[in-house]
Amino acid sequence: MTTPNLPQSTHDAPLRLRTLGNSGLFVSELCLGTMTFGGGDDMWGLIGQLQQEQADELMKTALEAGINFIDTANVYGGGASERIVGQSLKNLDVRREDVLLATKVLGPMGEGPNARGASRGHIMSECKASLRRLQTDYIDLYQIHGFDPATPIEETLEALNTLVHHGHVRYVGLSNWAAWQVMKAVGITRARRLCPILSLQAYYTLVGRDLEREVIPMLESENIGLMVWSPLAGGYLSGKYEGPEASEENRRAKFDFPPVNRERGSAVIAVMREIATGKKVDGQPVSVAQIALAWLLHQNAVTSVIVGAKRVDQLRDNLLAAQIRFSADELAALDEVSRLPTEYPGWMLERQGEYRAHMKAWYAALPGVTGRGRLFYLKAVRLRLFSHLDPTTTHFRRHILQFRKAIPDSQHSLLIVNMHAGLIRELRNDPSVDIRQPHGRVLGEQVTATGFAPFTAAYRCLVVGADVV
């Protein structure tokens, strides 16, 4: 079977493309997952047992829809998934440069302690085996499928670096690692000048937002891409397992994974149903499953969402999720019902960092300072000086004059104001204080004027500037 009409450029693809991490590699926002390919009488068979012809139909549908990203793993079906993916690309006559292949290594692929893990030996041998099964001479994204506590991270990263230098692998990523483990790997690659960590594949859904505590902030800080597996929480977010039409004959009855808090999940699905009601995409009513996928595509940290299917119609429904847009109110409703309960140190970081975040935003609004006359704002941090005073009263101005007299430098006048934006607005409206729109930069770090040091030591004040008449 050949498919001469597969998209050959991004202009033909309806799906959006995103760069994967800090790279120039463009991947489709939806990625075809192939865990349903080649399963037998084992755990993988509970997920899917699709054979070559069925897999070819799914691959064809995905590629024609604009997906250019295929994810598999050496353990899926004991290697059968990789073999089917490789043969499917041959059957469909797909040019190798038109598709990005991602696979993974870690799980057991034979007997004995060295036929598993993230050791150099296992990585090197399994990469070659994956290349043979995929019928290709390079893998676009080679991922460590999980953390191996028995192997030093340095050994794992050195092995991946070797594969990149040999040309067998283009980019490397991780999967199911904790934030501290990823960050340690990033530090090692930088210190040893190894190939960088490009992506993390992880579980993230409306009923599983644990990633937001530590992992997602780290990914955003380090510009590492996020690939989401099991975006429907093992089928739970299809809505089939909650409500009056719930059925006990489903995959979760045999393989209840990933774990879901059913009590919280029921409330989440109720809101999802409400939002789906009345929405249409491509002329069809929107499903709960499509809401789940669309929510992920609205999250800034997410690069690509891995969607799998057993049937072509399932895959087509999943693809339509990329066309769904939420209003601000709908996103707020989904966030409210699914939000994680606060934990330490999260609530303390938010509390202590709040005023610094306000300062950063305030400074960002001041591009540059020019002009002969300068009025300096001394922005008091934390204690919000003069918050008890009315800025329109003589009493307030008397306090200002007292502090201005304390500054020996007669070339500059210094005004202390509350950090609250409302107070600055009031000063701008005061005819006795003509403050033009600030267009300046930060003029100094801390106030060092003689006679004012005790004040700055007590209140940690910063100085910024703006033009005045």
Secondary structure of 357-400 as H, E, C letters: HHHHHHHHCCCCCCCCCEEEEEECCCCCCCCCCCCCCHHHHHHH
Residue 374, φ and ψ in degrees, nearest 5: -125, 135
Q: Which of 188-192, 253-257, 433-437 has the lowest mean pLDDT?
A: 433-437
Region class of 406: left (phi > 0), else alpha (psi between -120 and 50), else beta: alpha
Asked whether residue 416 carries a pLDDT value surpassing 90, the answer given is no
- Rounded to an integer, what distance in angstroms lies between the CA atom of residue 83 and that of residue 85? 6
Please give the structure tokens belonging to residue 395. 């009493």
CB 263 within 8 A of CB 314: no
Asked whether residue 313 carries a pLDDT value surpassing 80, the answer given is yes
Q: Which of 298, 349, 337 is nearest to 321 (CA)?
A: 298
Q: Which of 113-117, 120-124, 216-220, 358-362 has the lowest mean pLDDT?
A: 358-362
- Rounded to an integer, what distance in angstroms lies between the CA atom of residue 76 and that of residue 93? 24
pLDDT at position 369 is 34
Beta bridge partners of 465: 376
Burial zone of 155 (CB within 10 Å; 0-12 exposed, 13-18 middle, 19+ buried): middle
- Rounded to an integer, what distance in angstroms lies between the CA atom of residue 381 and that of residue 359? 8
- Rounded to an integer, what distance in angstroms lies between the CA atom of residue 331 and that of residue 117? 40
Q: Where do we find the tokens 């399932």?
A: 314
pLDDT at position 250 is 60
- Rounded to an integer, what distance in angstroms lies between the CA atom of residue 59 and that of residue 56? 5
Asked whether residue 324 carries a pLDDT value surpassing 80, the answer given is yes
Task: Please give the full DSSP string across 72-84, using - where no structure is assigned.
Answer: --TTGGGGHHHHH
DSSP letter (8 states) at residue 101: E
Q: Kindly report, residue by residue over 257-312, the tens digit of the pLDDT.
A: 788 888 899 999 999 999 999 899 988 999 999 999 999 999 999 999 999 999 99
Specify the DSSP element, H or E, that contains 282: none
Q: What is the mean pLDDT of the chain?
A: 79
Which residue type is seen at 312?
Answer: V
Please give the structure tokens belonging to residue 293. 């996928």
Top-confidence range, 4-18, 172-186, 353-367: 172-186
- Rounded to an integer, what distance in angstroms lies between the CA atom of residue 216 and that of residue 202? 10
The reply to whether 236 belongs to the active site is no
Strand residues in 176-230 grouped as ranges (E): 197-203, 225-229
Mean pLDDT of 221-234: 96
Percent of the chain scored above 90 by pLDDT? 61
Asked whether residue 423 carries a pLDDT value surpassing 60, the answer given is no
Asked whether residue 47 carries a pLDDT value surpassing 80, the answer given is no
Q: How confident is the model at residue 2 (pLDDT cuts 50, 70, 90)?
A: very low
- How far the first Cα of the chain sits from its last, in Å, is 77
Distance of CA 465 to the CA centre of its chain: 36
Q: Which of 76, 171, 203, 241 is catalytic?
A: 76
Q: Which of 238-247, 287-296, 429-438 has the lowest mean pLDDT?
A: 429-438
Percent of the chain scored above 70 by pLDDT? 70
- Rounded to an integer, what distance in angstroms lies between the CA atom of residue 60 and that of residue 88? 9
Q: Kindly report, residue by residue over 360-400, the tens digit of the pLDDT.
A: 655 554 444 333 223 333 333 333 333 444 444 455 445 44
CB 103 within 8 A of CB 135: no
pLDDT at position 294 is 97
Residue 229, φ and ψ in degrees, nearest 5: -100, 155
Asked whether residue 37 carries a pLDDT value surpassing 80, the answer given is yes
pLDDT at position 7 is 44
CB 28 within 8 A of CB 297: no
Q: Which of 117, 139, 122 is nearest to 130 (CA)?
A: 139
CB 230 within 8 A of CB 203: yes
Cβ atoms within 10 Å, residue 412: 15
The count of residues in the chain is 469
Q: Kindly report, residue by residue over 8-23, the tens digit of the pLDDT.
A: 434 444 799 999 999 9
pLDDT at position 247 is 59
What is the model's pTM? 0.75
Helix, coil or strand: residue 225 = strand
Asked whether residue 433 carries a pLDDT value surpassing 60, the answer given is no
Q: How confident is the model at residue 4 (pLDDT cuts 50, 70, 90)?
A: very low
Give, in order, the Cα–Cα distances in Å from 111 to each of 107, 108, 116, 123, 148: 11, 8, 9, 16, 17
Mean pLDDT of 105-127: 96
